[in-house]
Structure formats: structure tokens, C-alpha cells
Structure 1
Amino acid sequence: MYTARRQAEEKCRALAPGKVPWSPKMQGFWDCMSLWKLLLKGKKGCRVSSRKVRRLMKKTELPQAWRKSEGDLEDCLKQERSLYKQAKHTYAARWRKDFLTVQTKDAKKHQWKSRKAHDRFFRLRRMKQREEARRRRRARSKGSTGGLQAIQIEEHLPDGITSLRTITDRRLVEDGCMQENAARYDQTQAPYTTPPMAKPLYSEFTGDNAEINSLALLEGRYTLPDLLDPATASFLSHCRFHKGHSPVHLQVSKDDH
């Protein structure tokens, strides 16, 4: 039994010698290094099997390798070792990554309580992916740019009633979408309004006089309204240029570029 196992091991190829999976490219490196080593031993007067040298020259397709000098053989061996080390790190990293991927998949497979729950999860995920792909195809279909063609906005009537009005004009549609996004995602308004973005300061720091009022506030020339609460008044009173700071115009013209 022991002899049969030894014979089988000798005929089998190692899966990962030196933690590097076998591949034709790695085998080529090993053959070239073995050839250079044998030829170097022969140049130094050591006994070398001529049959093994011929076989390696045939495998590596280097029939004139035996004509090289001892210095050239050492350079070839050094260069081959350098290439082998680079390929070894690459193949070893890839082999470890594949091994960890298989381990992760096996571990995730055992997390499910049953095969039914596993199939249900992946079936729902495929349905969601198909629906997302269908929406993308529909938005990019032929003859359509994927933009909105009509929206509904709230319109406040004089009698206090709020109604929905459909808009199809492109400019009005863009303005309505911008207002909706600003109201939904503006961090200065939700969940709590910041002091300059609340009444009565909102109109003074967001309108046409925003630059004038902002510079006046930073330079200490702005007069705070009497309706402000103490916390807001304290916050704005500390908004000042540092000493020695040179004010810069907030408007940028073409000459500045």
C-alpha cells in the first residue's frame, strides 16, 4: 500500500508548489532556471547529465543556450529569477484570493436556515435588478431623452384653497424640479433652519443685495434687526473678518481667470 501511494505521488503534479499554483508560464520559469543552473555547473567543471540538458533546451526552445559564456549564464539566471519572483507574487495573491472567495461562498451558504429562504432571497434580488434595468431602458428608449415632460405643482388660490396645476413648459418644469429638490434636500432648512436662512434674514442674504449685506456683516457695518432672538444675534455678531485680513470681491469676472 505504501509503495503504491509513493508511486501515485510521484506521478501526480503538485497543486501549489511554493504556494504558487502550477501554470504553463510558471513551468517555463522553472525549466529556464534549471537549464541555466545545469549549464553553469558544467562550466565550473561539475558533472552534468547531457540528456537532461538537451531535454531542457528542447522544452525551453533555447537550442543555442550551451554556447553562452559563464558570465552570460549568470546574468540570464539572475534575470529569470527576477521575473519568476514577480510572477510568483502575482500568482500567489491570485490563488489566495480565489481560495478566500470559495471559503466566503461556503460560509454564506451555511448562513441560510433552509434552501427555500436562500432561493427566495436571490429570487427577490433578481426581480429588483430586472425592474431597475427595465426603468433604465425605458428612460433611454429611442426618441426619448429620459427627461420629464410634465409635472404637477401646488398652486395657492386667493380663497385659501390649494390645487394642483400641470406644467408642460420646459423652463417651468426645470424650475419646479429645482424648487422641489431644494425643499427636500436643502440642509439649511431641514431639520432645523440655520440663522441666516430664517426670516427676516433670508431675504437679505439670498436676494440681489446678498453680496452687499454679507460684506457689511463681515466688516461690522450691518445693523441687526430687532426681531432676532439672542442666540442668532450672538452668532451674527461673531461673523467678522480676522484682523489683517484683506477683503476679496465675491464676484469673479473673465479678467480674473
Structure 2
Amino acid sequence: MRGDDRSAQSPDSVTRRQAPAGIGSEDLTARARIRQAAIRRFAAEGIDKARLKDIAADAGVTTPLITHHFGTKDGLRAACDEYLAEQIKEQKELGLSRPGQDALQAIREHFIGSALMSYLVQTLSTGSEHVDELVDTLVEDALEYMHIGVDSGILRDTPKLPQYITVLTMWQLGAMVMHRHVKRHLDIDLLDDATDSAFEWAQLAGEILTDPVILVSATDLMGDNAAHNPGVQPADHTPDATGTSGTAPRKDHT
């Protein structure tokens, strides 16, 4: 039902593109239309500059109806963040279930060309309680479905896997925020819908994870500092069960 999604767009909105399956395919209630319009406005103008009256006009409702459903602009933004987290979780799960595809690639394939990608960058770039909750939710979700990756053979189970997953989640989200600099240095546009761009980024990320370029252990790298950090263990660069060279922590035989 993307027709409704297009009709709600304002002329000066960045979202003249069609919405992905995640936006506009649900029930067309006033609450859903408001949230969709807010995501587009926040993505186009920034969260601080977007005005409720413009969001109301885009959604075809009155400003008082927005306050009725969401209370304040902050409450509306919180609803947008919650919706975004749900969509990301769904796509990450799909990504981990498909061999050879990382989570960020799955997110980009689903959201590319839509306001959700730009909104993700906008909301991650701002500091607020709602952003903290969004990031916390994404990390918690990642820790929950990392078992999918282990069961499918994409992830190797290790005692520090939860920590690794947390680092990777921050890496993926950080890449979105830094998309302009990724474009400058690598000529890869993470917000573009070019297939070659998506493939090149996924390939680079995959190579770093599956064939590490650092050939010494964390202890060797950190030197004396490692002795004061009991959480750091030497790395084992022998092939794992899948035949891929890994960096699993060595077992402590003391």
C-alpha cells in the first residue's frame, strides 16, 4: 500500500522515493501515518528542525491528533525509534540466516532508498535518552539472535562471543553515522542503492572478520598493558572447525 505512503509526502521531503516493505505496508491507521510522516520529516530536515504541523500536514491529520497519540514531539520520536529497532531486528535475523551476508548488508538491502536509512543516521547522531534506549535494544537483540548465527554455522561459538557481537553492532551502527567519510575515503556510499556499493562494503567487512589482517595476539599488541587487563587473552590463529582462520581466545591452562 505504497500509494498512501507517496500521497503523504510533502514536496520538499527527501522521501520522494518509494517506501520499502517496512513502511506503508501495515494498517493505514492515523497513528501509523503520523509515524511514517515523522520518519520522513526527521530524516529530511533533522529531528530538531522538523515541525509537528508539517508532520501533521504530511500525514493528513491535525496537530492535536499527533499530541493525542504521542503526547509530544519527543514521544513521537520515541515511537519512531521503537519502530526502527523492530525493523532492524527483523532484517538482522534474516541476514544472519543467509550465509555470506552480514547484518548491515541485510539492513541496507531492505531500507535502501527509503527514509528509514536517513532517519537511522539522524537518530544515531543525536544524543538523547531515546537514542540510548534504541542502541541498548539493538545490542540486546543482537545478543539474542547471535545463536542463530552459531546454529547456521556463520558464527563460531566462543566464550567471548557476546562481547564480539556487541563490538560488531557498534561497528555497523558507527559506519552508518560515518557514511559521508566512508564515501570520501572508499568511494562507497552506504546510503545509496547501488548494488556494487553494497557488495564492496560487505566484502571488505567479511574479509576482515573471516581472514584477519592482524597476525599477532592482543597481548603482543598491547604489550605491558595486557598484563594489567586479565580479560585479554592471547589469540589463536589456527583454522577453526569451518576451516577458516580465526582469532579465538586460547584456553588458559594455568
Shorter-chain TM-score bucket reads: under 0.3
How high is the TM-score relative to the length of structure 2? 0.21
How high is the TM-score relative to the length of structure 1? 0.21
Q: Which structure is larger by alpha-carbon Rg, 1 or 2?
A: 1
